[in-house]
Structure 1
Amino acid sequence: MSVRTTPVVAASPRHENLVRISRMFALFTGVGYLGYLLLLAAGILSLSSIMASWWTPTMVAVVFGPGLLLGAVSRHGDGRLMRGVATTAALSFFVAVVTWPFAWNGTRIEQFQAVWFSAFPGLASLAAVVAWPAWLVFVHMVVGCVSVQLINFVARGDVEPMMLLPEILFAIMFCIIFVGGAVMALRTGRLLDETTDETHATAATAAAQEARSVERERFDALIHDRVISTLLSASRRGADDVPAQAVVTLKELDEIRAGVEADRPFDPASAVIHLRATAAEADVGATFEVVVEPGDGPPVPADAVRAVGAAIAEALRNSRRHAGPEARRSVRGVVGSSAVTIEVDDDGAGFEPASVSSRRLGIAVSIRGRMARLPGGSAQIRSAPGSGTTVLLGWERP
């Protein structure tokens, strides 16, 4: 029989952090375009006289329109639309650069003046950050800075040629601070998303492994507690409970094969009923005196009730096999919302607990091991030759 396990589901890629940071920079870029439009309005009007009549209004719309739209779609547009608008804003800047020589009428500007679009080549590169890979963004920034400084150099006319290179380098160094920061911020968001995906995938794998381990332990315990016990009972003469044990064993095997989940918590009264039924299946002749502790509280976890019940059943089966034919067995204890305390006693032959081999799975696995795996669980075995055996089982809410 194969053990039913939970399949590992690959975590789907997540981009929450990257998208959030991209939207933040898109909004920042849109606000930047609005700010530059307001700050440069007077300069744009003053320089319109040296340009063809069609050029200034057209280029203002072409350059500033996509940038302002990028800020608008940053909050509510989808990622594909935002990247498309960002690409348009980045490229439209070069429309002004390329068309300027054809629209300029040759009139020189003062040395302290500059063409209006030379004030924000880095802002256009910030728009590119939202949509393009880092290397292409830096190419865009360098080309933009060089081209606008060349236009300024030509438009001023009488500027010393040796001043061109410092102007270009200054523009590049000024813009790279903001563009580089944006690139690193997006890279951080991308790495955070990748780390989150990896963490989720690792957690899913660990959960699947834990589920497989739990199912194997459940199956191993069933083999020992039910199958082997049924076979041992069948090997004894006069055993009249073999059919009942076999029915219960087959039922539990069917539940494992069907993947039945039994994790609904028990109220204390239902927990006592479950423990009584489990004890009766293992030894119908054992006395059962487990009571409900007075008081209200949260229900007892199903894992705790089933683990204690399985340990009770194993303790009773061990007693039937080893305590002697005349031994009497009893189950006593208290079940409450915050704790369960059970004693399984017999007055039989007893044994020396220290002498029991670790290969004896009844005690090592089905009692001590089971209770040790239960959070808040405990198990103690007290016995001596000729003095009977007491198995103490406990659970406390962590």
Structure 2
Amino acid sequence: MSVVRQAPAAPKAPVLLRGAISRARVESILARAAAVFALLFAVQTLPAVGVSSQYLSLPFAISIAVVLFGLLLVILVTAAVNGAKTKPTHIAMGIFTVVYTIVLALWPVGLLRGGSELADQPWLWYLITIAMIFADIVFAPRWAALFMVDVTAVYVFIRTQPAGGSAPVALALLDGFYVVLIGAFALATITAIRAAADRVDAAQGTAMEQYTRAARNHAAELERAKVDALVHDTVLSTLIEAARAETPDQRRAAVQMSQAALKTLQSAPVAFDVSVDVPVAQLADRLADAARLLSPRIDFQVMRVDDARVPGAVAEAVFTAAQQALINSLQHAGDDADDVIRTVVLDSDVSSGLTVQISDTGRGFDGSLVPAARLGLRVSIRERMHAVGGRVRVVSVPGGGTSIVIEWEPST
């Protein structure tokens, strides 16, 4: 005798917390935070722009101010508008760092000929930290570190020149050390945050890969269980009924079940397409045909159908579960000669889902006394519906008949 395996429990999908840390989310936060940070520093720079510009040629002073502050405005807008799409913001940040370096190197060229030296550091000093943070975000760590060293060296040199206020070397080096310290801290922090986000992404990717593999294996196991259950529902059940047939009525019932089994096996390859939704009316027609084949005396009723549809996998599970419930009733509830009344009621609604109730007025049974080896109710009915998110309720009283309610509700 073939052994019907129990369908395995469906693997649980990994829980991906909404708003959890990820590389994409980190990049978006960094871009927006840097844009806001740049805006605050730019506002603080405006008074110094007016002071330093009086020592520069007017075209040069206007050009560098318009270009640098214009780029900062572009960065702020792209960070606010694009959200998770950080590429436009990163491009604007990269352009700013390059332009800033060029402007810093050309600063002495823009100084008025014959003009006195600056009384204080150039206003570009207030933007050097912004340029370094942008470089930390846009460039690879090694290139960001190289940019930090190079731009600091250029600034320290200019700071000691008349164009930079002729500051003492010690003061210029102190300013440079301050800038490098902030830039290095920002680079280390950004690198650490990105590394943590990459680890989270890798862990989630591994979890999803494992879940996909488990889901694939689960689908294969369900298919094996379905084939085993189909054999149990048809061939095995028919053989058992034929072996027990003693009276003419029992033999006729065995013949009817054999005919139904043959038709079921023949139609098995063309079951409901699980990839598309199936009209409930089609399910009702197929279930009515199966009921008539099993016993002409089964009363099949359809309450509501309308235009309701259910997933193909649900339709297949409901059909096979209801068919097995009818076979169980024919096998165990009593013969038609015993005046057993069997009823199938199908009801469906677009919002509430689908319900199929199989009832009989036969012998009934005590569920706690059903042997574990009896797989019809446990595997062919309960497990099938559980696999598609449905449920089965069984109400039976010894001597008082049996009612099996198969239910499925659409997920909200």
Normalising by structure 1, report the TM-score. 0.67
1:255 aligns with 2:263: no
Q: Is the 8 A contact 2:159 2:172 kept in 1?
A: no
Question: What does residue 140 of structure 1 align with?
Answer: 147
| CA displacement, residues 297-348 of structure 1 (integer Å, 9 cap, x when unaligned) | 995856777655534432443454566765554323655455554323435x
Unaligned ranges ≥5, structure 1: 1-13
Identity across matched positions, percent? 20
Residue 149 (structure 1) aligns with = 156
- 1:378–1:393 CA contact under 8 A, matched in 2: yes
Tell me the secondary structure at the aligned position of residue 341 of structure 2: strand
> Which residue in 1 is equivalent to 2:289?
277
Alignment of 1:1-398 (within 5 A): 17=25, 20-21=28-29, 24=32, 27-28=35-36, 31=39, 35=43, 38-48=46-56, 66-67=71-72, 70-71=75-76, 75=81, 82-100=89-107, 109=117, 113-155=120-162, 161-173=169-181, 208=216, 211-229=219-237, 240-241=255-256, 242-255=258-271, 259-261=273-275, 263-264=277-278, 266=280, 275-281=287-293, 283-288=294-299, 290=301, 292=303, 299=308, 307=317, 309-321=319-331, 327-332=338-343, 334-337=345-348, 340-346=356-362, 356-370=370-384, 375-383=390-398, 390-395=401-406
Q: CA, structure 1 residues 82+292, in 2 after alignment: closer, same or farther (shift >3 Å)?
A: closer
Number of aligned residue pairs: give it.
Answer: 368
The answer to whether the 8 Å contact 2:333/2:360 transfers is: no
Is the alpha carbon distance of 1:391 and 1:273 closer, same or farther for their aligned partners in structure 2, counting shifts above 3 Å? Answer: farther
Distance in 2 (CA, whole Å) between partners of 1:262 and 1:39 is 67
Superposed CA RMSD in Å reads: 4.9
* Deviation of 1:274 (Å): 5.2
Distance 1:255 1:304 in 2: 12
Change (3 A) 1:87 1:17: same
CA distance in 2, matches of 1:328, 1:27: 83
The question of whether the paired residues in 2 share the 8 Å contact of 1:33 and 1:68 is answered with no
CA shift digits 1:8-51 (9 cap, x unpaired) = xxxxxx975366446535754775686477444323322227xx
The one-letter amino acid of 2:264's match is: V
Describe the shift of the 1:196–1:308 C-alpha distance in structure 2 as closer, same or farther (beyond 3 A).
Answer: closer
In 2, Cα distance between equivalents of 1:390 and 1:262: 37
Amino acid at match of 1:278: A
Q: Cα offset for 1:200?
A: 5.9
For residues 55-84 of structure 1, what are the alpha-carbon distances to aligned partners after superposition, in whole Å with 9 as ceiling and x for unaligned? 656655775565555456655798666544
Is contact 2:362-2:402 (8 Å) kept? no
Q: Distance between the aligned counterparts of 1:304 and 1:358, measured in 2?
A: 26
Alignment partner of 2:394: what SS?
strand
TM-score, with structure 2 as normaliser: 0.65
Q: 2:303·2:345 contact (CA, 8 Å) conserved in 1?
A: yes
The SS at the match of 2:120 is coil
Q: Which moved more, 1:203-212 or 1:124-133?
A: 203-212
User: Cα deviations across residues 72-120 of structure 1 (Å, max 9, x unaligned)?
Assistant: 665579866654443232123222344456776797736x601232221
Do the aligned residues in 1 keep the contact of 2:148 with 2:180 (CA within 8 Å)? Answer: yes
Distance in 1 of aligned mates of 2:341 and 2:108: 103
